[in-house]
Amino acid sequence: MRSRFNRRQDMQTRYIKARRRGLAYAKPGVHNCIIIIDGLKPDFNIGKIIRSADAFSLQEVHLVGVDFFDPEPAKGSMRWVVLHQHPDFQSCYEAISDKGFIFYCLEPATDRLLGSEQFPEKTAFIVGHEEFGVSFDISQYPAIRSLAIPQWGHVQSLNASVAASVAMYEYVRQHGTCKELQEKDRE
């Protein structure tokens, strides 16, 4: 059986190759929505979020505190999705807020619910670690709005990639149209 170090090294090598392809081909998606992935482990969730960002044609994905990840779950979508990496949340926040985006942090313990919120055209969703949450003190960022996905079962929260996908879908449901996508494809 391969050691943990070798598997991690293989993952890093695959990431570097996939990242190079993305730098060559990736273009911003048609929707003015950004996903911020904050401190997730470098396994399957990040790739799945990138795959969903490709499916919903989001503008870009920002990674906070993530040096590399396994690109395999993205199923080739890294080639088409613009990725930005940041060492910490503050640098990510400054880069995005300067462009006029409104931030929503997905958290299970808040009264503001997905589905009852009308998202502005420029929306940025923050997805943190399933167990530890986000890497920053949200009270230091009063402009960030907390947002929960309604749930009726017994689990505490959804998987990070599932929660991100649900949020992306709701944004596109409110702002996206097939006509916009068809016009973008013709360009």
Q: Rounded to whole angstroms, how far apart are CA atoms 83 and 26?
A: 8
pLDDT of residue 71: 80
Domain coverage including residue 160:
4-186
pLDDT of residue 118: 96
Where residue 19 falls among pLDDT bands split at 50, 70, 90? low
Q: Rounded to whole angstroms, how far apart are CA atoms 82 and 78?
A: 8
Q: Tell me how far the alpha carbon of residue 31 is from its chain's centroid.
A: 13
Contact yes or no for 112/72 (Cβ under 8 A):
no
Where residue 106 falls among pLDDT bands split at 50, 70, 90? very high
Domain count, the chain: 1
Mean pLDDT of 97-118: 93
pLDDT tens profile 122-149: 999 999 988 888 999 999 999 999 999 9
Q: Long-range contacts for 128-131 (Cβ within 8 Å, ≥24 apart)?
A: 128/38, 128/39, 128/40, 128/160, 129/38, 129/39, 129/40, 129/41, 129/160, 130/157, 130/159, 130/160
Residues 6+ apart with CB under 8 A from 141: 93, 103
pLDDT tens profile 27-64: 899 999 999 999 888 778 999 999 999 999 999 999 99
CATH code of the domain in which 45 resides: 3.40.1280.10
Task: State percent of the chain over pLDDT 90.
Answer: 58
pLDDT of residue 1: 46
Q: CA triplet 185, 60, 51: central angle to 5 degrees?
A: 75
Mean pLDDT of 81-104: 95
Contact yes or no for 105/89 (Cβ under 8 A):
no
Where residue 184 falls among pLDDT bands split at 50, 70, 90? low
Model pTM score: 0.85
